[in-house]
Every structure is written in C-alpha cells, then in structure tokens.
Amino acid sequence: MSSVARFTEGSEGGQRILRFEGDLTLSKLGVLPTRLERLRGTGFVLDLAGVERMDTIGAWLIHRTVRERGGQVVGAAPGPALLLRRMEEVDQPVKVRPDPPSPFVRVLDQLGAATSEAGRTLVGLLAFFGAMLVSTGRVIREPRRFRLNAVVQRFEVVGVHAFAIIGLMSFLVGIVIAQQGAVQLRQFGAEVFTVNLIGRSSIKELGVLMTAIMVAGRSGSSFAAQLGSMKLAEEVDAMRTIGVSPMEALVLPRVFATVMMMPLLGFYAAVVAIIGGAVFCWVGLDIPPVTFVQRIREVVPITDLYQLLIKAPFFGLIIAMAGCFQGMQVEGSAEEVGLRTTTAVVQGIFLVIVLDAFFAVFFTELGWL
Amino acid sequence: MNEEQPIISVRGLKNCFGDQVIHDDLDLDVRRGEIIGVVGGSGTGKSVLMRSIIGLQQPDAGDVHVFGQAMLTADEKCLQSVRKRWGIMFQGAALFSTLTVAENVQVPLREFYPRLSEKLLNEIAAFKIVMVGLPANAGPKYPAELSGGMKKRAGIARALALDPELLFLDEPTAGLDPIGAAAFDELTVELRDQLGLTVFIITHDLDTLYTICDRVAVLADRKVVAVGTIPELLALDHEWIQEYFRGPRGRAAEEAVEAAEAEAGAPTDAQSGNGKA
C-alpha cells in the first residue's frame, strides 16, 4: 500500500524532469532529502503524478527545491497541491536559537548581572532583617499577636525531627576525629591528647557548625520551598488582603523556632560527638569512659560551652532568615522555587561560616582561648 | 489498515484510585478524520481517560486499541511505532523549559528520525511554527518568554512535528481569552482539513464543542453515557447533558452558532456532523 519515497531524473524536450514516486511522508523519506540537496543545476520540472501520499514535510521538500532551484510542479493531486500552496504561505525565516552575543560582551554581562544581584541580595537581606525587627517590636508590644501554635509546630519540625539525623552525624564525626587525631598524635607519643582534641573541637566548633549545616539543608531549604510555593499560589497575597501580616504569620515563627532550636541542637550534637569519641577511645585506645570524662572536664574550659551557646542562636537566625528571604523572593515560575531553595542553602551555610570566622577572632580577643 | 476501523477503540475500561472508581466498563470509539470532544463534570476522569489511551495511566481492566494496536499488551517497539503517529498537547503545553520553541519542535524529530540533516530540521521547525500561527520571531524564544496562548500554539507545533494522524488536545482553550480561543478553534479545524488529522479534544468550552466538534462524548456515571452530535445529545433525556447544554452558557453558545448559520445561509460543516472533512 505504501512505498518509500524516491525520484528519478530524466529529460524531455530540453527540460530536466524529476519524477517523484511513492509516499512523500516523513517516515518514508529515506535518503530523498540528501539526494535532493545534491542535485546540480536549476530549472527543473517536478512531476508529482506518481506520489501516493504527501505530508507537510514532503511538501516542504518539494517547495524548497522549487524555491532554491527554480522550476515548476506538475501533476499534483488536489491534496498535495493544497499543501504546497500552504507551504508557500508559511515559508518565513525563523531562527532556532537566539543570536549568541560576543564572548566579551557575555562575560561583561554576566559579571555585571552577578554584581548587581549580589548587591541587591545584600540590601534585600538587610531590608528583610529590618522588617523582621519591626514585626518583632510589634509582637512584643502586643503579645497576643505571637503565634504560639505555629512556633511550637516549627519546634517540632526544626528540632525534634532533626534529632535522629544530627545525632547519627555527630556520633560518626566524633569517631572520625578521634580516629584521625589518634593516628597523628601517636607519631609524637601523645595519643592521650586525643581527648583534648575531641572535647575542644566538638564543643567549640564542630558541634554547632555541623548542626548549622544540617539545619540549613533540612530547614532553611524547606522554609524557602514552602514560602516560595505559597507565594506562587498567591497564598501570601491572600493573607495580606485579609490583613494578616506574612511577616508575623510565616516568617517570625520560623525564625524564632530556629533561633531557639539551634543552641539545643548544637549542644546535643557536641555531646553526641564526644560520646562517639569516647567510644573510639575506649575501643581503640583503651581509655576507659570514666577516665575519658574526667579528662574532658579537666581540659575543656567552660568558655568553650559559652562560645557554642552564643554562636548557635545567631547561626539559626541567619539560616532561617536566608531561607525565608529567598522564599519570599519567588516570583513567576515553579522553576524559581528550586533555584531560590538552592540559593537559600548556599547563602545560609556561607554566611554561617563567615560569621563563625568573626566569632573566632572576637572570642580570641576576649581571651577565651 | 481498514479505513472503517475506529482509530481509537476503548472497551471495558476500568480505572480506580484507591477505593475511588473513576471509570467502570467505559467504551468509546473515535472514527478516522473526526474531531471528537470529550466533556464531563469535574472529576469524571476526562484527563484520566486520555492518559489511559496514550499509555500514561495503567488501567485496572479493559482494552485500548490505537491504530488497531492493542496498547496495554504491546511491547516497547510497537508502542514507539504508535508514538510516531500521534501528537499530544498537554494542558499547560508542557514545553521543555530549557529549549527554545524551535528546539522543542525538533525534539520528536530528533528522537524518531536521527538521520535528518540539521538544515532540514531547522526548516521543518520554522514552517511548523509559522503554520500554527506563531510569529516568526517566536522561534528562538524560551517558553518562559511566551504568553499562555503562544505556549499552547508552540505545544501544538511540537505535537504536529511528526505530521501525526492523531492529535490529542487537553483543554486547548482553557485560560485563553475568547479571541484567542476562537482562533485556536479555527486552527484546529484548519489543521484537520489540511492534514487529515483525527482530533481528540478534552474541553469545557461550549463554543469549541458547538463550532468545531463533529461528535461529543459525554462522561458521566463512570462511563461514556452518550456519543453523538450535539442535536443528538440534546434529544436524549439525561439530566446532566440537559443541564450542561441547556444552561445559560450552553444556550448562548447555541444561539451564537444559529446566528452564524443564519448568516451563512446553510448549516456549517461542524453542525452537519457526518464526521468526514
């Protein structure tokens, strides 16, 4: 019933004739397009009398040959003739891709865009922080506006649900520090100082830093995604029109809960890391737990714990703020929710580490070595 | 293939989501060359029916034949050969967001005919885009830069890339302004007449039903309760059908068609309802 499209060349009365046969349809084209492109010369007569079926792509090939080589079509049945006329109407130059700008311009363009984006984000974050303070002030003046239920619910999501994963992570980190530390310290015959290493690094830095990274990944991202999709679904706008401030209803409970939860989670992470280290010391270095605890109490100053408890709420503030800020920036498409979520996590972790560096200098100046 | 054989044939289709039965013993035939509209209240499973036909939803029971090929038992190779012969436009157009409109149109061509030259691919994309009524400068644009109506046209251009015999449209006029919707209806008829397409439309748009559909299938009570031209449906004593077509909106659409007919002095093609272009 159907056959492969083909054509034969011939000449008649001084005119070159291309006789087409078979189905001029996409699935039956075969090598026909290449053969047509390789034709030499101009001024053909295209005989379509033998064509059984034709689709738009077949019609386009005929149309293109006529346009580029000159010539005329004969013997077309009504259907194909209609398609050919249609092809003439729709033959317009259409670009497939936007014109690529010159590399120099593109680099400048990207550099400029990144700079202005960074500036805008910084200003935006500051403005967001300011708006949050204003809201907090209002809530303090009118305590009935404080949404206790929302906050308690966030406590659960940010804090309680993170217990298992943060515990496991800290335990493993504690073991790794102990093991790696022991290997290095053994070279000096100072294996016993492994305890100092575990105690001080866990409480001072690692516990709270690892927790911050985990909270940024778990909660910062989910804040951005939640608020972002609420923004897309116009929930935030609906809230505003009803007179509910999104700042009070959405942002403050999340930020407050994270600020409250971070010190608890950080402390918990440090303790679990020390337990991990203790397990390794007991099994690997034959330091019994009682001795381990005694040594920890001797070598870890209380100021290390103060540092943890002071840093953690600030880290929580930054993570939650970055998450909520990015979520509230979502506009337009669902794709942006994903982008903003990524940005929220990256920004949160980056700012936490910058702040941690500041704190390190600050505490050293205080003499909390 | 036998010309009289239905192009889509659904028998005894059953779809459940948990305890909820969406379709039960649903039958539907779509004839070659017709524009069939599928209507039904919200939640009657219009989209589920389409998804069952095109193989995105595994039914709990029943048979689906497309081009005479049993879809539920076919292997991947048979399915690929069926997929070459249909085009589908999803409700939100489902354009690939990382590709330009022209590149979107080229995706099916590249997938099924990898040996087409780059030049020919670009030309095909170009004329398809113009053919569905998009301006020439829409080719290098990304979907995010297009309006809703333009997205739908780009979606139809991609669905038509392979010159299919069968076109599925899921709510093509939803979210379009009346002018855009009318233009889209016109485009559908034009394509059917020029390319001999069979068109399966899910729609709520009464104007679409009245002006372009040859037959209308009504989904209610978990099955297709009636299939026929609108006058045939109106003659039926079914509560939902009467309410749907006799409601204020239905009457307005009917009057508009009657007025147009009176002006033209003869019934339009769509109203004669013989299903053949």
CB-nearest partner of A335 from B97, B117, B163: B97
Q: Flag if A83 and B194 touch (Cβ within 8 Å).
A: yes
Q: Flag if A98 and B141 touch (Cβ within 8 Å).
A: yes
C-alpha triplet B234, B240, B243: angle, nearest 5°: 70
CA distance B124 to chain A (A): 7
Which residues lie closer than 8 Å to A118 by C-beta, 6 or more apart? none
Q: Flag if B127 and A332 touch (Cβ within 8 Å).
A: no
Residues A180-197 have a mean pLDDT of 92
Please give the Cα distance from A269 to A168 (Å, whole number). Answer: 9
The predicted structure's pLDDT at residue B268: 47
Q: Which of A204, B87, B255, B18 is CA-nearest to residue B246?
A: B255
Q: Does A34 touch chain B (CB under 8 A)?
A: yes
Please give the Cα distance from A299 to A289 (Å, whole number). Answer: 15
Please give the Cα distance from B118 to B219 (Å, whole number). Answer: 45
The predicted structure's pLDDT at residue A263: 96
CB-nearest partner of B139 from A56, A61, A96: A96
Interface of A with B in 47-66 (CB under 8 A): 55-57, 60-61, 64
Helix axes B148-159, B178-195, angle to 10 degrees: 10
- Quickly state the pLDDT bin for A25 (edges 50, 70, 90): confident
Percent of chain A with pLDDT strictly greater than 90 = 67
Which positions in chain B touch A333 (Cβ < 8 Å)? Answer: 97, 144
Q: Which of A204, A217, A227, A255 is CA-nearest to residue A347?
A: A217
Bridge partners of A19, per DSSP, are A8, A47
Which positions in chain B touch A26 (Cβ < 8 Å)? Answer: 113, 162-163
Q: Flag if A92 and B144 touch (Cβ within 8 Å).
A: no
- Quickly state the pLDDT bin for A357 (edges 50, 70, 90): very high
Predicted model pTM: 0.76
The predicted structure's pLDDT at residue A2: 60
Which of A28, A84, A94, A331 best probes binding to B when mutated, by most B CB atoms within 10 angstroms? A94
- Quickly state the pLDDT bin for A360 (edges 50, 70, 90): very high
The predicted structure's pLDDT at residue B252: 80
Q: What is the pLDDT of residues A280-336, one digit of tens each?
A: 999 999 999 999 999 999 999 999 999 999 999 999 999 999 999 999 999 878 888
Q: What is the pLDDT of residues A103-140, one digit of tens each?
A: 999 999 999 999 999 999 999 999 999 999 999 999 99
CA distance B159 to chain A (A): 14
Q: What is the mean pLDDT of chain A?
A: 91
Contact present, A147 and A255 (Cβ < 8 Å): no
Interface of A with B in 93-152 (CB under 8 A): 93-99
Query: Measuring CA to CA, how many Å separate B252 from each of A353, B198, B247, B249, B256?
Result: 66, 28, 9, 5, 6
Q: Flag if A27 and B131 touch (Cβ within 8 Å).
A: no
Which positions in chain A touch B162 (Cβ < 8 Å)? Answer: 26
DSSP string, chain B: --TTS-SEEEEEEEEEETTEEEEEEEEEEE-TT-EEEEEE-TTS-HHHHHHHHHTSS--SEEEEEETTEETTT--HHHHHHHHTTEEEE-TT----TTS-HHHHHHHHHHHH-TTS-HHHHHHHHHHHHHHTT--GGGTT--GGGS-HHHHHHHHHHHHTTT--SEEEEESTTTT--HHHHHHHHHHHHHHHHHH--EEEEE---HHHHHHH-SEEEEEETTEEEEEE-HHHHHTS--HHHHHHHHSHHHHHHHHHHHHHHHHHTS--HHHH-----
Q: Does A26 touch chain B (CB under 8 A)?
A: yes
The predicted structure's pLDDT at residue B266: 52
User: Does the pLDDT of residue A75 top 50, yes or no?
Assistant: yes
Which residues lie closer than 8 Å to B196 by C-beta, 6 or more apart? A79, B33, B165, B277
Size of interface A-B (CB pairs under 8 A): 81
Which residues lie closer than 8 Å to B135 by C-beta, 6 or more apart? none
Helices (H), chain A: 32-38, 56-69, 78-90, 103-141, 148-154, 163-186, 194-201, 207-215, 221-232, 235-242, 246, 252-285, 289-299, 302-328, 334-366
Please give the Cα distance from B163 to A27 (Å, whole number). Answer: 10
Contact present, A276 and A172 (Cβ < 8 Å): yes
Contact present, A29 and A5 (Cβ < 8 Å): yes
User: Which residue in chain A is spatially nearest to B160 when comparing CA positions?
Assistant: A56
CB-nearest partner of B126 from A29, A79, A92: A92
Q: What is the pLDDT of residues A238-289, one digit of tens each?
A: 999 998 899 999 999 999 999 999 999 999 999 999 999 999 999 999 999 9
Residue ranges for chain B with pLDDT beneath 70: 1-3, 265-277
The predicted structure's pLDDT at residue B274: 45
